[in-house]
Structures are given as structure tokens and as C-alpha cells.
A and B are shown apart, each in its own frame.
Chain A
Amino acid sequence: MGNIQVKVVARPASFEQDMYFSAVVKGLGVTMRHFFENLFQGKSIVTVQYPEEIQPYPKRNRGLHHLTKREDGSVRCVACMCCPTACPAHCITIVAEETGNPDEKRPLIFEIDELRCVVCGLCVEACPCDAIRMDTGTHAAPVERRADAVLGKLDLMQLTKTVSAAHQGGLGGEWREQQPPIRTDHPQSPQGTPGATATSEGMHQVTHAQAVAAAGGHSSHH
């Protein structure tokens, strides 16, 4: 057993400090000033009443995912599997299907488990066709059952508020020849070659029906 070395620190002790009383009154003065100012004027309250008052998120905030659409409203995703590969949390599930266009696939099932998601944004970085984004400005809502936190393709497409300005891919082997000149007008105006537009219009009917069937079985009713 060694000796315990105690170092006595000399603290300035005045009579006033020893009596505590004046210090207590001073402290009460500070707290009472805050109390009355806040009670009668609400002067320096910093509380934000969340659901009623929402403070804007910063511009580059990563919120809930959404799947962007093509000009005709069908899903932009081509089921290339880049995002589930990049995802460190393995929260993205994609099952691809044929579109009838030999150059493109599309997702039959596209699910994101928002409880698993670590909000890293790597899926957005990985996506080659700007199909997945995290700029909804909202965050995952609390759920009572885990299954409710899994968002399906239609859920993710409904969250879309912005239209992608990127060029639509899937032009086939002759894409260099078919690619329209880089546009400078408003990004929401219709783009693409006549042939491609026709194809996607024809696709739209099929896509919608299948998407409803797929999403209905996977995301809405658990």
C-alpha cells in the first residue's frame, strides 16, 4: 500500500464566499431575470415547436429517398444494381424485369428499408442515370411495425417532387448517333428522339399495371 499523495489546492476564500448568501442571491438574480423575461415576453426561448414550426433543412440535406421519373412518368431506374452494390447497409432490394426494349431493364421490385439505411448517400453517388435521389427534404417517419418502414417502388416514386434534368439513357448501341444535342432550354420540356419517345409511351401502360401489382404485393400491405 503506497501513500496517497494529496495536493491541497489553495482556493481564494473571502468572507463573502464563505457566507454563500450573497453568491446565492446573485445566482437567483440571473435565473429570475431569465425566468421573468421568458415568462412575460418569451424573450430568449430557443425551443422550436416541431410539427408546427419546421426549420428548413440545408440545401444538401440527405432526406428520404425517391425514385425519379422519366418525362412520361415511368420509372427512370434501369435496374443496373449499382446502388445495392454500393449500399453499405444492404438496405436496397432490386428485382429486375424485361421491358421489351433489348437495351434496358427496369425494376419489378425496388425496395428500400429505411430502418436499415444509414443515410450515407452512396446510392445516389453510384446511380449512373440519376434515378435515385435523397433530396425530398423529409426524413423517415416513425413507424409502429418494422415492415412499414420498407418503402416500395411506388412509394419512392410518389415522393418525387423534382424532375431529373439528366439525359435519358437506354438509346442502344448507336447512342452516339441518336443522342440529341446538349440542351440549353428549360429542363422540364420534352426531350429525346421520336423513336425513343414512342417506345417509352408504349412501355408506360405495361409499366404502370405491373408496378401496381408488384408494389401492392410488397410494400403496401404487410
Chain B
Amino acid sequence: MAILVIIIPIVAFLVLGAVATVLFGWLLPTLAAQVSWLSWVGSSWFLALIKSVFVILGLVMPLAGVLTWMERRQSAMMQDRLGPNRAYVEVMGHQVRAFGLMHFVADAMKMLFKEDFIPAKANRFLFSLAPILAISPVFIVFGIVPWGSGVCPGALTNTIATEQLRQCIGGPTVPAAGIPFQVVNLEVGLLFYFAIASLAVYGTTLAGWASYNKWSLLGGLRASSQMMSYEVTMGLSILGAFLVYGTLEPMQIVLAQGNNPLHWGIVTQPLGFILFFTAAIAETKRTPFDIPEGEPEVIGYFVEYSGLRFGMFFLAEFIEIVFISAIITTVFLGGWQLPGLEASGFGRLELPHGVVVTLQFATFAFKVFFLCWLQLMIRWTLPRMRPDQLMGFGWKKLLPASLINVLVTAFVVLMLFGGK
């Protein structure tokens, strides 16, 4: 029974990958080519729209929703409890409990129907704006994440060579011949991520200020100081990875890592991986870095929020977990690369292009899923830090370590490759 927790995600990701492959590799190109008045279906803006809808509604939101359930069941298992398992839907007169998965549906319904309360002295405009500012950057930055290699339309059943797949994916200077599984291909890549993701701090700070509540203001201030401190470490710790791969563009980073796990970022940049992971967890404002919402001290910047506005903060946290996992997967865990899987298949075992793309999508999704699990594990293992410990840890330990990491990496890269 328990092995289902591994089998079900893999099957779900494979199905989702197959859907993506058929949708982008066959359905949309065929529609664009065959139906005259649907030629706009193949245009780049429409593909980008469909891609973002697919990755947000197909992968990110379901995963974030399941994470709310996973967090409760997983923490229960760690604490020798069972966790929520009784919510059910009635199907043909039977109670289908599905291990309590219905709890997150019930939670969503509850938040939808609760009163949306705004305190009398709150700044109504900023109060309403803050949840949107908190959740939208996380969605936007998903645009740069490569969630699969890409498809060459019309070649789904053929076995194709690695060079052909590279041409289909394209690059920062080469236009893609096929459809890469990435919403936008930005040359600035991860800099865009840092630029947009740091906007999320406005959401929390404004929420704290606009609520007209001392506790939420304290929470908002704590959030802003914490997020700013840890962003420094985040940027510096990932610099080493940029030096190794020689590019900022996520798709190129994944291609540079290749399908050999020994060339992945976690092996070439172990310290960078740990530092980035730590700083990223701090960015999600979760335990052990959850001082902005430390329940026994200040309840947090969202004390005054209720209903779906609170739900947006809540969901933003979980989407951030998924996003952090996606970035770490891309930069340090080889992205969609499955060990040993070439564009033509596993070595001598040749696989059709469609199957390879499906496998690569499932690989990416499973790595993200695994990192989400690991983050929940850490969140339920470590106690909360004190604010001064948090600042000391960020500025006196993580920052020097990430600087050393950059210097050592730069030195090694210079020695090995002569700065090319």
C-alpha cells in the first residue's frame, strides 16, 4: 500500500508528460497546419500562453494543492500519528477517502466561503493588493523554468539524434526549430528570477503595514529584513554554478549538465547547492526561518487576513516551495535529464522521440516532487530560529561561505579552462 506514494506520482507525471508531448508535438502543429482559420494556433505567443496555462494548471497548482495535504500527512507520520484521513466524497454510495486527499478540496471550499474581512482602519487598497503581490511573482517566474526538453513536431514516433533535439530546443541566439518545453527563453535567465522573486517581499511588507495591526507590522518588517538578507546569499551561492556552466539561461544550464549525474550541479557545486537550498528555504518563510509568522510571538503579516485573501498567502507559500524545488532541480540536479537517457534512448535501446520527451518531463516533475518532500521534511524537523540568530546565520555564516564558494570556483574554473 505505502509504495503507492511513489508509484502514483510517477504514473501521474508520465501521463501528464504524455499529454504535453501529444499536445505540443502533434495536436497544436497539426491544427495550425491543417485548419486554415486556425493558423494562429502555431504562433509563438499562443504557444507561450498554452505552455504557461499547462505548466501552472497541470503541474504547479495540483502539486501545491497536494503539498498542503502532504505536509499534514507527512508531519503526522514523522510524529507517529496518522494525520487527516477522514474527508470523503461519495461515489456510487461508497465513501471514497483517498487517504484524506479530499481535505485540501475541503480546505479550498472553506476558504472560498469564509467572510472576507477588512479591518476598519486598514488601508483598503494596499490591503487588497498585498496578496496579489505575494502570489503573482511566483507564477511569473515559472516562465523561465524548463520542464522538459522540447518536441520536434512530426517526429514523435521516430528516433532522433541529440543534435536534432538541440535544434528543436534552440538557444538564446538560435531560434528553436521545434517547441521547447519552456515558456520563455530569456538570455538573462536566472537574473530575471531574482528580479521578479524579490518583488514578493512587497506583498508581505505591504500586508503587514496595511493591516493596521502591530503584530502584522512586526511580521511584515521581519519578513522584509529576512528576505533581503537571504537574497544576497541566494544570488552569491548560485554564482558558482553560473561560472561552471558559463550561462544564465536555465535550458542551457540543463543542457550543459548533461545526462551524467557526475556532471550535475550537486557534484560540481556541493557547497553552492547547500547554501542555495538553505537561503531558498529562508525565502519561502517556512520553519526554521519562519520568524515573519512565528506563531507564539507575532502571528505574522497576515493576521488580519481571512477567506481567500489568506488562502492566497497560504498558497503562495506552497507554490514557492514548488518553485524553489524547480530552480534547484534545474541548476543543481540536472533538470529534466534522466541519467543515461539520450535523445535517441538509453544507449543501444532506441526509444521513439515522444517516449523520450515524456520520460524527461516525468523526470523533471519527480525531481521537483522529491525536493518538495525534502523541504517538508526539513520544515518538520528543525525548530524556529530567533531573529538575531537568523540574521547572524545569514550574514556571518552563509554570506562568507558563499563568497568563498565563488572565489574557489572561479579559481578552479580559471585553472582548468583558462577562463574560456
Contact = CB atoms under 8 A, between A and B. Distances in A.
A123 B51 CA distance: 72
B79 A34 contact: yes
A120 interface: no
Nearest 9 A-B pairs (CB), nearest first? Answer: A47-B82, A31-B381, A38-B77, A31-B78, A27-B381, A40-B2, A35-B78, A44-B80, A39-B2
Contacts of A46: 80-81
Interface in B356-384: 377-378, 380-382
A201 B311 CA distance: 67
Contact of B380 (A19, A31, A39, A44): A31
Given A18-B397, A28-B377, A38-B78, 16 more contacts: A19-B397, A20-B397, A24-B381, A24-B382, A27-B381, A30-B381, A31-B377, A31-B380, A32-B78, A34-B77, A34-B78, A35-B74, A39-B5, A47-B76, A47-B82, A49-B82
Contacts of A47: 76, 81-82
A20 B380 contact: no
A21 interface: yes
Contacts of B74: 35
B81 to A, nearest CB: 5
Q: Which of A27, A35, A40, A46 has the most CB of B within 10 A?
A: A35
Interface in B332-378: 377-378
Q: Which of B2, B5, B77, B380 has the most CB of A within 10 A?
A: B77
Interface in A11-64: 18-21, 24, 27-28, 30-32, 34-35, 38-40, 44-47, 49
Chain B interface size band reads: 10 to 19
A35 B373 CA distance: 11
Q: Which of B3, B78, B79, B397 has the most CB of A within 10 A?
A: B78
Main secondary structure of the interface of A (DSSP, over half): helix
B393 interface: yes
A44 B77 CA distance: 9
A24 B278 CA distance: 11
Given A28-B377, A47-B82, A49-B82, A35 B382 contact: no
Interface of B: 2-3, 5, 74, 76-82, 274, 377-378, 380-382, 393, 397
A39 B5 CA distance: 9
A165 to B, nearest CB: 42
Contacts of B393: 20
Contact of B82 (A20, A21, A35, A45): A45
25 contacts: A21-B274, A24-B378, A24-B381, A24-B382, A27-B381, A27-B382, A28-B381, A31-B380, A31-B381, A32-B377, A34-B78, A34-B79, A34-B80, A35-B74, A35-B77, A35-B78, A38-B78, A38-B80, A40-B3, A44-B80, A45-B80, A45-B81, A46-B81, A47-B81, A47-B82
Nearest to A42: B2
A38 B274 CA distance: 28
A40 B77 CA distance: 10
A35 B377 CA distance: 9
A14 to B, nearest CB: 14
Contacts of A19: 397
A19 B275 CA distance: 12
B76 to A, nearest CB: 8
B269 to A, nearest CB: 16
Contacts of B77: 34-35, 38-39
A35 B382 CA distance: 15
Interface string A131-143: 0000000000000
Nearest to A23: B382
Nearest to B383: A27
Q: Which of A30, A47, A49 has the most CB of B within 10 A?
A: A47
A104 to B, nearest CB: 50
Nearest to B385: A20
Nearest to B5: A39
B237 to A, nearest CB: 14
A49 B3 CA distance: 22
A144 to B, nearest CB: 19
Nearest to A21: B274
A32 B381 CA distance: 9
Contacts of B76: 47
A46 B80 CA distance: 6
